[in-house]
Amino acid sequence: MTAPNPTLRQRQLATRLRQLRADSGLTIEDVAKHLDCSPSRISRWETAQRGVQAPLVRQLCQLYGITDQQQIDSLLNLARNAKRHGWWQEFDDLDLTPYIELEAKAAAISNYETSIIPSLVQTEDYAVAIIRGSLPRIKDSVLKTRVEARMERRQRILHQENPPDYWILLDEAALHRHVGGPDVMREQLEQLLRYAEKPDITLQVIPYTEGAHMGMNAAFILLEIPEPGISDTVYIESLLGGIYYEKPTEVDKFREALDHLRAIALNPQRSQDLIKRVAARIGTEPEYPR
């Protein structure tokens, strides 16, 4: 049986306990000896393979010399709520469980894409085409589940009472790639324009004329989390799964990239004008011989 994915709180607690132990100068073996347990048990706590009960967290705080009550309470809160799951658990095929949990808690989301429209504003037909194109061997049942989850995410994140501030940055290439064909792409661009009118969404396009820039290597998403004990996180998706960056020095590098991209991108109005022009030309471009 496959072990369930650790929740966001469990991962955050594991990261913080591992850092606190390292800061205290203690080894895993030292901690295991103090608690009279095996080193592998401590290792599983610190890699989120196993949950840690609140009383043990309190013991660890004492062992690591933590006296700041606010910090202790934050760790205890993570431990007590570590097993709480959200709506996404009903979709048993999702590999993005940690990401979706972060996304659901974000007060601000900055999404930079190089060649596709961001998943939160995709139409259903575009989502089908992009997932099938990325995973040509995907089973129809799995595809259906992933598309349903994507539509559910959009509804819960962008249409909630207090949605996050959502900043979309698109390389112009994302507008020109006809995912799903001309009709699907035209509908997708029209939906993108509708979302651009929402007061909590900012949309900017980086035109081809800007040449080389800091975002050319990879698309990424910055999730800013206001909940105590949970770090702002950058997420990058790859063929082998998601990569998470949580260290402040790592996240700051992506903030720098976002500042650069926002500065060179067209302003929101000019970005919408460009999208309208691209949408109007769909179906008129010459076909390339294979």
Residue for token digits 């929101």?
A: 268
Q: What is the pLDDT of residues 122-163, one digit of tens each?
A: 999 999 999 999 989 999 988 998 899 899 999 999 999 999
Which of 59-68, 225-234, 256-265 is predicted most confidently? 256-265
Spatial contact of 215 and 170, defined as CB atoms under 8 Å apart? no
Q: What is the pLDDT of residues 6-63, one digit of tens each?
A: 566 777 788 888 989 999 999 999 999 989 999 999 998 888 778 888 888 999 999 9
Strands, sheet with 233-238, edge to edge from the N-terminal-most edge strand:
201-206, 165-171, 108-113, 220-224, 233-238, 241-245
The stretch 172-197 carries a mean pLDDT of 96
Q: Which helix (H) or strand (E) holds 60?
A: helix 54-63
Distance CA 122, CA 30 (A): 51
Half-sphere exposure of 33 (CA within 13 A, CB side): 5
The stretch 196-222 carries a mean pLDDT of 95
Q: Please, is 35 exposed, middle or buried when counting C-beta atoms within 10 Å of its C-beta (0-12, 13-18, 19+)?
A: middle
Cα distances from 66 to residues 2, 20, 46, 70, 247, in angstroms, run 35, 9, 17, 10, 20
The stretch 271-279 carries a mean pLDDT of 97
Instruction: Of 164, 183, 187, 165, give the one whose Cα is nearest residue 117.
Output: 187
∠ Cα 120 125 126 (to 5°): 55
Distance CA 225, CA 12 (A): 12
Mean pLDDT of the chain: 88
Q: Is the dihedral of CA 64, 70, 76, 81 positive or negative?
A: negative
240 pLDDT exceeds 80?
no
195 pLDDT exceeds 60?
yes
Q: What is the pLDDT of residues 255-271, one digit of tens each?
A: 999 999 999 999 999 99
What is the per-residue pLDDT for 100? 82
* pTM, 2 dp: 0.74
What is the per-residue pLDDT for 9? 72
119 pLDDT exceeds 90?
yes
Instruction: Of 48, 46, 81, give the one whose Cα is nearest residue 64.
Output: 46
The stretch 276-286 carries a mean pLDDT of 90
The stretch 174-187 carries a mean pLDDT of 96
Query: pLDDT band at residue 192, thresholds of 50, 70 and 90?
Result: very high
Percent of the chain past pLDDT 90, that is, above it, reads 57
Torsion region of 120: left, alpha or beta (phi above 0 gives left; psi -120 to 50 gives alpha): alpha
